[in-house]
Structure 1
Amino acid sequence: MDEIAPYYAQDREHDRLTRGSNRLEFERTRELLARFLPPPPATVLDVGGGTGPYARPLLEEGYTVHLLDAMAGHIERARADPALAGLASATVGDARALPFPDGSADAVLLFGPLYHLTGEGDRRLALTEARRCLRPGGVVLAAAIARTASTVDGLLAGMDADERFRAMRDATLEGGVHQPPASAPGWFTTAYCHRPEELRREVEEAGFWNVDLYAVEGLGNVVPDFDARWVDPERRGRLLDVIRRTERDPALFGVSAHLLALGHSPLPNPA
């Protein structure tokens, strides 16, 4: 976690999902949560939940939410936010060692841990901890960055003209680890970028059943004039419709910046 702390200390994360195309990530993630979370007042562990962008609407809907994040600054901001006063807890912690009892939650959100834990063994720990905390039949929703995300972003933004970016991009494509150069402190921090089949395998090997993958931004990640589309209700609706229709198409997973894995905690064997 030490290598990602300077990036998050810039305090840009708390409003990231309200800006630019990040609004699509937020809208689609909220949509998938509404589809797959058990109904309120279910207990949700928001692990890697940052300053609470998803916890706020979940609280408004009547969920019991525990917020945990590795960055102390995120938790301090969450504790000071009146909109998060209803949190059951707000804790600085590690996804690999959750401070929650066995079988205490109906759902676990991992929106961050799977891409900031660059070692497969650490990601396995985070997933098995999530399963430990879930009641039988509970759900995990785990976000991952697609292996080609920085490649697509670089092409769209023209960053591939920078030799430093090309070196970073090529290393990510080859081995999955996104490691920005020290000379570019504003670039996104150290992360792991998944291939879809790898993400599915990791969730299944952690003991989850009926694992499915969904593209979060999907084709919306590469449309031109995003801001103009987003503020026009009709065009926005058409964009979201095509994303939904193609969200499970494996041929398009690499276009999406983020993937969301859905898994279910095993039910007990019948007597």
Structure 2
Amino acid sequence: MKILLLGQHGQVSQALQQSLGRHIELTVLGREQLDLAKPHEIRQQVLQQRPALIINAAAHTAVDQAESEPELTFAINATAPGILAEAAAELGAPLIHYSTDYVFDGSKATPYHEADTPNPLSVYGRSKLAGEQAITAVGGSHLILRTSWVYSQHGKNFLLTMQRLLQERDSLNVVDDQIGAPTWAGTIAQTTAQLIERWHTGQSGPWGVYHLTAKGQASWFDFAKEIAAHLQSQGKRVATLHPIPSSAYPTPAQRPLNSRLDCSRLEHAWQVQLPDWQSALNECLHAAN
């Protein structure tokens, strides 16, 4: 089976390249080969490749930077996915696309379901929602997988930042009033591989929008405490952690306070099992050793 993977160096793409390598002809196009900010190139490239399945793991994910460059953000996160969906439909190939908890405003008291009304607070969130809508408008076979708080041993993310700062500083303030599910890129990739296998063997669930995160919930402060505990278990000295509210750490882009996503629909419809966030973090940390 020939799969076209868009995005090369991102966290999810790196994990997918490890999870999808077996029994699959995988073509990976990074920014150097296909710039998603140039819409006229997308359809031509995809039709030239003629894949059986397309995975879009490319995105403009610099949330704060997006506030000052909305046109570029929307080109990559909104316009490009729509064109990909059109090309996929033309080929009769399913499209798997990743979205985000940032499509919601975080004002709900309980975890978000797929049917809840989006209300993004940031340029990034609005662009990702527009990408979802563009894909849905085209129709065709597609999975839009919303995830949250993605981390791995690659790129820029909370895990790597905390590992560094915890060892560099004596004291560290971490936001404690934003709640979500830290989700390892490996979990996303492994689950995606299972979804592809279900589709390939005729056992797929309905196409559409699904939530895909680790189970459980944590604040950024809770997440930092787990990372610190792991460093301490290795005999390393770490900074003292202090919880602070979001108001004490202003950023250009507003974050949702509640980023919890209910993933039961994906588990039931596609027969996959998602790990709790602590187990996945432990697997990620031990895989790096």
TM-score (norm 1): 0.39
Bigger relative contact order (CA 8 A; separation at least 6): 2
Normalising by the residue count of structure 2, what TM-score does the alignment of the two structures yield? 0.37
